[in-house]
Amino acid sequence: MNKYLDIHPEVREALANGRPVVALESTIISHGMPYPQNVETALRVEKTIRENGAVPATIAVIGGRLKAGLSEAEIEYLGKKGRGVAKTSRRDLPVLVARGLDGATTVATTMIIASMAGIKVFATGGVGGVHRGAETTMDISADLEELAQTPVMVICAGAKSILDLGLTLEYLETKGVPVIGYGTEELPAFYTRRSGFKVDYRLDTPEEVADAFRAKMDMGLRGGMLVTNPIPEEYSMDPDRINAAIDQAIAEAARKGIKGKETTPFLLARVKDITGGDSLASNIQLVLNNARLASEVAKCLANG
């Protein structure tokens, strides 16, 4: 057991008894939405996982402790503190832990802490990737590198179309990360169901997804698996509308010189404003959809 890791009693008991557990990130709480909507959404996602037969484990760093599973009070704390909580990737963990600080975990850091705790399935909104213009900026999300080395399945609604989706897929292929389309042969683009880019494999049931991941683990292949689950049709946004909003937000970010870890929060906030809040409503629904699928896959793994 890692000496810096605290596992919530409910999560610890579930893991000890072979029950399904689903990890959740905390950046969506502190950086993804305003208070109190961020807390309400986080608790709603946890409730959805319980309703689908699994145990939620929201992950964060609080007071320098790596947390696998949060209390409702801790979720409230992160939500109220908002962007006062550091957005935390792999590089940030040593200093935050040493200084006893708080951190909201990205996809990469959630994978790390989930793996330490023995959690194999993680539901999120969208995964990071290769940013547009990365051939000159080298702006590539640490999420992709973590997928290449940490044995956790990430279930998401694809990659946000603020990214270069083609280069993101190429990077994942180079790193040997299987990209699965759940019920689709095409990579979902977060707010929309289609991107024009093909995934590696289409799988149609939670059992198939669990079997593929189990085989990967049994063979000792390093790294995780990316399962892309399209946003439900009724919440999918018009591609032309959302892409126009994204292009406008990217242009504003360039004019303001916004770079690095501040890029994604800025772009998502601007897209929300430009779309009159419609993108945020879609974001919430796709996270709930991913939580449901993750619960089903986690149950299949637990029963295997």
Q: Identify the three-state secondary structure at position 86.
A: strand
Q: Are 255 and 272 a contacting pair, CB within 8 Å? A: no
Rounded CA gap, 285 and 269, in Å? 17
- Sequence-ordered list of residues with C-beta below 8 angstroms from that of 242, at least 6 positions apart, any chain: 161, 191, 192, 271, 275, 279
What DSSP character marks residue 66? E
Are 192 and 231 in contact by the 8 Å Cβ rule? The answer is yes
Structure tokens at 84: 């006062």
User: Which positions are catalytic?
Assistant: 25, 160
Contact 78, 85 (CB under 8 A): yes
For helices 142-149 and 107-117, angle between their N-to-C axes, nearest 10 degrees = 30
Q: What's the full length of the chain, in residues?
A: 304
Cβ atoms of 61 and 102 closer than 8 Å? yes
Match 């494999």 to its residue by tokens. 201
For residues 128 and 159, the answer to whether their CB atoms sit within 8 Å is yes
Helix, strand, or coil (residue 17)? coil
Query: Using CB atoms within 10 A of its CB, is residue 9 exposed (0-12), middle (13-18) or buried (19+)?
Result: exposed
**280's tokens:** 């945020």
